[in-house]
DNA sequence: TGACAAAGTGTTCAAAATACACTAACATAG
DNA sequence: CTATGTTAGTGTATTTTGAACACTTTGTCA
């Protein structure tokens, strides 16, 4: 089963930068390559685009195949087309980034990945191809975007405390935020739904739980509201 | 001269949304297609990527071939990969957008374009492929970007008056701006170099000319300065 | 020289961002 | 049962920024 074209074509791939968050750090999901080139090296999950799927579908498929992760917020990042970026042949790769809740998504390495694991964004191993560059650009984009779009909620569990939310922003933006000002601002946006629940199993005063209110968000959006941290 | 691959591949193209500005309007550069599909229809300049050029090089080459325009600020916009976007076969297109000074760049339709012309952004004809969507996204991106990055200067002649600069922002953002506040802000940024020249051939008081000071801009950038209109 | 046309120029008010520290609630250990 | 430790939760004063607003100056041209 081969195909013939009149002119040569680059091969087209997708790569995914998946962000997760735990108590300690902002993390990126990497796979260990099971095949050449760069066999054994860590890389972003990704692979070639098939003819019957969109770019985003390809990204989701590869992610599921290689790491078991599905159901996530995906956004196109940038397309990388440098000529020598793949040593085998010309490959142009459309990169996506995604945010997931680390605890809800258990990893399962599969197919052509030997292993899959989370790495702290400020302690990434050397990556295959130009994936270090891609990861760096994704991180920059995330930092830029999180301040004016409420995307960070994807990183948290459904129910979270204001402190968790604040720490999420602190970890992504890599700067301290004043607790009172943060609460004033975030509650003032009317974007969160206050729940009748508090934390359990903590050895101190339990904090109130909140959840992101999608409906309120959509209403605000329509009115041209600008979310800003 | 044909090539054979083990698996089918999408064809890879680039498209360019080139913005220009005249006294009246913000404009986009279109070409009239000289070949099927959509022969005779207006479309964004663009074409297929060759194996020995990067994506950006391909965009610049096509732009030059089809419109004569060269030496411009180009930035990647988005990659379009919907399955039926080209009726012939699967084509994935990396879109770029560019800003040029309309008066310095004379158009010359060539190769597979029948004609090239500027169209006001709020009066575009129906376009071939999904190019209307691409143009819409580019315009949105330009509006979003121009307020926090000094890219709009590319649309003006090298030497310009503060009124021209203000009108540029008003046309892009599509809202009036207060003259005194605008001047205070833009001069306060220390981004412009005041020239010892004024307008000539105007039938009223001549305005002072300024130019964008690239050096000052780079210094401010390094210090993490955020330009904002 | 008078009328026209755009250039150029400050102040006031309102809103938003920032800096800042203590009390309340709950869990746990002694 | 009480003292200690840990995080939750809360308000005000100050500074900075954004927004509204109108008249005088300079030059051209009839």
Q: Which tokens in the block code for residue B30? A: 């279109």
Question: DSSP readout, B31-59?
Answer: EEE-SSSSTT-EE-SEEEPPTTS-HHHHH
B147 neighbors B228 (Cβ within 8 angstroms):
yes
- Would you say the CATH fold of A150-222 matches that of A11-145? no
B202 touches strand D (CB under 7 A): yes
The phi and psi torsions of B43 (rounded to 5 degrees) equal -155, 165
- Residues 6 or more apart in contact with residue B95 via CB below 8 angstroms: B14, B15, B16, B17, B44, B46, B76, B77, B78, B79, B80, B134, B137, B138
In CATH, what number does A11-145 get? 3.90.79.10
A228 touches strand C (CB under 7 A): yes
Q: Which helix (H) or strand (E) holds A70?
A: none
> Looking at residue B118, what is its pLDDT?
96
Distance B19 CA to C10 C1' (A): 36
B58 neighbors B47 (Cβ within 8 angstroms):
yes
- ipTM for the assembly: 0.94
Quick: pLDDT tens for B32-57.
999 999 999 999 999 999 999 999 99
Enumerate the domain spans of chain A: 11-145, 150-222
- Among the partner residues B1, B12, B82, nearest to A10 by beta-carbon distance: B12
Give me the mean pLDDT over the B186-206 stretch: 95
Residues on chain A touching B6 (C-beta within 8 angstroms): 1-3
Give me the mean pLDDT over the A108-133 stretch: 89
CB atoms within 10 A of CB A188: 8
- What is the pTM assigned to this prediction? 0.95
Give me the mean pLDDT over the B157-173 stretch: 97
pLDDT at A4 over 80: yes
A207 neighbors A165 (Cβ within 8 angstroms):
no
Percentage of residues of chain B with pLDDT beyond 70: 98
B181 touches strand C (CB under 7 A): yes
- Among the partner residues A3, A53, A81, nearest to B5 by beta-carbon distance: A3
Give me the mean pLDDT over the B142-154 stretch: 95
Q: Are A79 and B76 a contacting pair at CB < 8 A?
A: yes
Distance CA B38, CA A223 (A): 38
Distance CA B141, CA B102 (A): 20
Average pLDDT across chain B, whole number = 94
- Among the partner residues A6, A11, A78, nearest to B9 by beta-carbon distance: A11
pLDDT at A107 over 90: no
pLDDT at A111 over 70: no
Distance CA B107, CA B96 (A): 19
pLDDT at A133 over 70: yes
Quick: pLDDT tens for A152-207.
999 999 999 999 999 999 999 999 999 999 999 999 999 999 999 999 989 999 99
Is CATH 1.10.10.10 the classification given to domain A150-222?
yes
* CA of A88 vs chain B CAs: smallest distance (Å): 13
Give me the mean pLDDT over the A134-143 stretch: 98
Mind spelling out the 3-state secondary structure of B163-213? HHHHHHHHHHHCCCCCHHHHHHHHHHCCCEEEEEEECCCCCCCCCEEEEEC
Chain B interface with A: residues with Cβ < 8 Å: 1-12, 48-49, 51-56, 76, 78-79, 81-83, 90, 92, 94
- Which of the four pLDDT bands, split at 50, 70 and 90, describes residue B107? confident
- Which of the four pLDDT bands, split at 50, 70 and 90, describes residue B116? very high
Nearest-nucleotide field for B229 (CA, C1'): D18
Residues on chain B touching A55 (C-beta within 8 angstroms): 79, 81, 92
The most confident of the ranges A65-74, B65-74, B102-111, B177-186 is: B177-186
Residues on chain A touching B11 (C-beta within 8 angstroms): 9
pLDDT at A104 over 90: no
> Looking at residue B109, what is its pLDDT?
64
pLDDT at A118 over 70: yes
- Which of the four pLDDT bands, split at 50, 70 and 90, describes residue B129? very high
> Looking at residue B211, what is its pLDDT?
97
Q: Are A49 and B1 a contacting pair at CB < 8 A?
A: no
Quick: pLDDT tens for A11-65.
999 999 999 999 889 999 999 999 999 999 999 999 999 999 999 999 999 999 9
> Looking at residue B55, what is its pLDDT?
98
**Chain C nucleotides covered by protein, CB below 7 Å:** 4-11, 17-21, 24-28
Q: B127 burial class (0-12, 13-18, 19+ CB within 10 angstroms)? A: buried
Q: Give the HSE-up count for residue B82: Cα atoms under 13 Å, Cβ half-sphere.
A: 10
> Looking at residue A112, what is its pLDDT?
67
Residues on chain B touching A81 (C-beta within 8 angstroms): 49, 54-56, 94
Residues on chain A touching B53 (C-beta within 8 angstroms): 83
């Amino acid at each position: 089963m081969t195909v013939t074209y009149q002119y040569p074509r680059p091969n087209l791939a997708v790569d995914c930068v998946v962000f997760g968050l735990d108590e300690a750090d902002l993390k990126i999901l990497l796979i260990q390559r099971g095949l050449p080139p760069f066999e054994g090296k860590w890389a972003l999950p990704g692979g070639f685009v098939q003819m019957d799927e969109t770019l985003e579908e390809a990204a989701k498929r590869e992610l599921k195949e290689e790491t078991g992760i599905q159901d996530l917020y995906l956004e196109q990042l940038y397309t990388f087309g440098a000529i020598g970026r793949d040593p085998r042949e010309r490959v142009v790769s459309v990169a996506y980034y995604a945010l997931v809740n680390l605890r809800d998504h258990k990893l399962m390495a599969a197919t052509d990945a030997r292993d899959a694991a989370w790495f702290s964004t400020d302690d990434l191993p050397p990556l295959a191809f130009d994936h270090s560059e891609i990861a760096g650009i994704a991180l920059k984009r995330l930092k830029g975007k999180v301040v004016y779009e409420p995307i960070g909620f994807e990183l948290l569990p459904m129910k979270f405390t204001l402190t968790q939310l604040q720490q999420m922003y602190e970890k992504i933006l890599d700067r301290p935020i004043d607790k009172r000002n943060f609460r004033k601002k975030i509650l003032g946006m009317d974007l969160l739904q206050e729940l009748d629940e508090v934390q359990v199993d903590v050895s101190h005063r339990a904090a109130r739980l909140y959840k992101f209110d999608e409906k309120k968000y959509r209403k605000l959006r329509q009115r041209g509201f600008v979310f800003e941290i």
